[in-house]
Amino acid sequence: MRPLSNSNRDPYSSILNRNPKSKSSVNLLPCTPSIRQITWMRRASLLLTALCLAACSKAPDAGVAGSGMTSAAGPDAVLLRFPQGGGTARAYRWDRDSTVWTSTQRAPIVAEALAFDAQQGVLVVVDAARIPVRVELRVGRITPTTTERLRAISSADGYSVFGVAPTGEIVRLTSSGTWRFRPPAAVRSLLPLADGALLVFSDTDDGRVMIRKLHPPETKFEDSTVVAGAESVISTDVGDRLYLVNGDHLEGLRTRDLGRSLTVSFSDAVRAVAPTPSGDRLFVAVRNSATLYVVDRYESAVRDKIALPGPPSALRMDSDGQYLLAANEAGDSAYVVAVGTQRVVSTVQTAWRHDLPFTAPDGGLALAVGDAMVIVDAETKRERLRVPNGAADTWALVRWNGFRPRASTLDEPVTFEDAYADSLGLDSLAAEPEPTTEPGAAAPSPVPPAAVRGEARVHGWMLSFAAVLSESRARTMAAAVRVDGGSARVQSSEREGTMVYRVVAGPFATREAAEEAGRKSGLPYWVFEASP
């Protein structure tokens, strides 16, 4: 399993370029600075240092089952364990055996982990009855998303879960409601994309496969194409390409317009394909061969070959592109390939399952060895941790900061700055409106904090996209943010003598409505209760 996370940073995220009119990030000063200049430089240096330290200490939540990292600067790796026969789910920090979380409700028998929503701290799993279930790490709840047994279950973000109901309808399950759509033909499989689009695969009467694209909740197909076959479908983490396997052919499509981007043929039937996180290379295993083919996406041809100790039956790439795991055809071991050097660095003993083995960015491998779950180094195979009887359970690794200590004044766990923020951490504060006074009118009397909070509840929920120090930059950002067909706006406030400009939208009647609008914007956001 691989994280579905977007690592692209927004061009507004830099905190160093304070002067948008300047063509250089270096300011030239006179050779002999004055006392005023020295004082100014000291203050600027202290401010810049503080901002940089704040920025380095915070990172956006991210992750999905399959890989993670424990770091002071990035999201933590959280290892989740679901008992074989159902029961209390538990969470551990990666490479540690101490429990940091237990569920307040009984978990079902988990067949596989599907996707993780880091904003809400919700992991979607599929139980043995093929029903998607939400595991809420913030509060410990475990709740099914529906009572229907679905097929073709999939999710790109852990928030929207798609499937095909027994009636043949496509359903989208979210915390705010269920969307249903009856397609013109029976659905073979579904593939949600990172931009919110959905690809619907259906068989045609002449034995080919029709691919249709739509953007829920819209029910009009935007595009379509027909391919010769699709024995398996592989998408990239970036989401801009789709790869289809049909016998000894590998075909690539652009998800933007469903146009052909690549066609490569091999000497035998393709068994498995694993793209790098960026999608620049594809590792391809074919039947009856111990050779792993490396296809260059841009050259549309085989660029390299890797000799494995034996024929592989399956491939699994970690989300950071460090190691490729190749299942031994015998099913009792896996070959570890260093992606950077394209060489086999070790062979590890493990069963090959939906959840295990997987790779963490620190170079650790989680394996199923006999009746134990074992964590080892990828290259040295040094054992770090052994969990007796752990192989019987289902495991998932997510990236999340929600188990870090939080401020006592907050009613939710601490969230970390998004790509738009200037590292002041203001989104966790109550966004009270600045008092306004008409000329000549008496100043309004102070309002008790409890009354302010009550007033905020009346007015609804707001979205915050950024907190920055430059008003012009905030206004530029607000103009670029689209929320429900309109632009965001800028709110200003003073904090410890510093003016801060927030890019906000709203109010919305319910938190669910605000969450839906934030997700549709396609940008990182924070939801808070406040007056408009």
pLDDT digits (tens, 9 = 90+) for 40-55: 444 444 444 444 444 4
Confidence of residue 60 (pLDDT cuts 50, 70, 90): very low
Check residue 452 and give its pLDDT: 36
Contact by Cβ (8 Å): 84, 99? no
Which residues partner with 121 through β-bridges? none
Q: How confident is the model at residue 406 (pLDDT cuts 50, 70, 90)?
A: low
Q: How far is the C-alpha of 332 from the C-alpha of 133, rounded, in Å? A: 30
The DSSP output letter for 56 is: H
Please provide the DSSP assignment of 452-509 as one string: HHHHHHHH-EEEEEEEES-HHHHHHHHHH-EETTEE-EEEEEEETTEEEEEEEEEEES
Q: Which of 118-132, 171-185, 220-234, 465-479 is predicted least confidently?
A: 465-479
Mean predicted confidence (pLDDT) in 435-452: 42
Confidence check: pLDDT of 28 > 50: no
What tokens appear for 303 in the block? Answer: 């660029």
Give the pLDDT score at 129. Answer: 94
Q: What is the pLDDT of residue 477?
A: 82
39 or 203, which is more confident: 203
pLDDT higher than 90, residue 519: no
Task: Dihedral sign for Cα 212, 216, 221, 223, please.
Answer: negative
Q: Kindly report which listed range (57-61, 175-179, 185-189) carries the lowest average pLDDT score.
A: 57-61
pLDDT of 513: 85
Q: Residue 357 contacts by C-beta under 8 Å, 6 or more apart in sequence?
A: 316, 325, 334, 348, 350, 365, 366, 367, 368
**By percentage, how much of the chain surpasses pLDDT 70?**
75
Give percent of the chain above pLDDT 90: 53
pLDDT value, residue 394: 96
Query: What's the pLDDT band for 531 if we cut at 50, 70, 90?
Result: low
342 — pLDDT class (breaks 50, 70, 90): very high
pLDDT for position 496: 64
The reported pLDDT for the residue numbered 31 is 39
Residue 459 — very low, low, confident or very high, per pLDDT cuts 50/70/90?
A: low
pLDDT band, residue 162 (cuts 50/70/90) = very high
Higher pLDDT, 33 or 329: 329
Across 158-162, 254-258, 290-294, 525-529, least confident range? 525-529
In this predicted structure, the answer to whether residue 522 has a pLDDT above a threshold of 80 is: no
List the domains of the chain with CATH numbers: 37-58+417-437+445-529 (3.30.70)
Q: How far apart are CA 356 and CA 348, in angstroms?
A: 12
> Which of 99-108, 491-500, 508-517 is predicted with the least confidence, judged by mean pLDDT?
491-500
Q: Would you say residue 324 has pLDDT above 80?
A: yes
Residue 67: phi and psi, rounded to 5, are: -160, 160
Residue 269 has pLDDT above 60, yes or no: yes
CA 92 to chain centre: 20
pLDDT digits (tens, 9 = 90+) for 412-431: 443 333 333 333 333 333 33
Among 18-27, 88-97, 387-396, 482-491, the range scoring the smallest mean pLDDT is 18-27
State pLDDT tens for residues 376-404.
999 999 999 999 999 999 999 999 988 87
Mean pLDDT of 61-71: 40
- How many C-alpha atoms does 277 have within 13 Å on its Cβ side? 18
State the pLDDT at residue 337: 97
Mean pLDDT of 496-512: 83
How high does pLDDT run on average in the chain?
79
What is the distance, to the nearest Å, from the Cα of residue 340 to the centroid of all Cα atoms in its chain? 23
**Residue 405: predicted pLDDT:** 65
Give the pLDDT confidence score for residue 372 in this predicted structure.
96
> Does pLDDT of 306 surpass 80?
yes
Q: What is the pTM of this model?
A: 0.65
Other beta carbons less than 10 A from residue 179's beta carbon:
16
| CB 201, CB 191: distance < 8 Å | yes
Is the pLDDT confidence value at 448 over 80?
Answer: no
Could you give the maximum distance between any two Cα atoms of the chain, in Å?
88
Tell me the three-class secondary structure of 7-44, residue by residue. Answer: CCCCHHHCCCCCCCCCCCCCCCCCCCCCHHHHHHHHHH
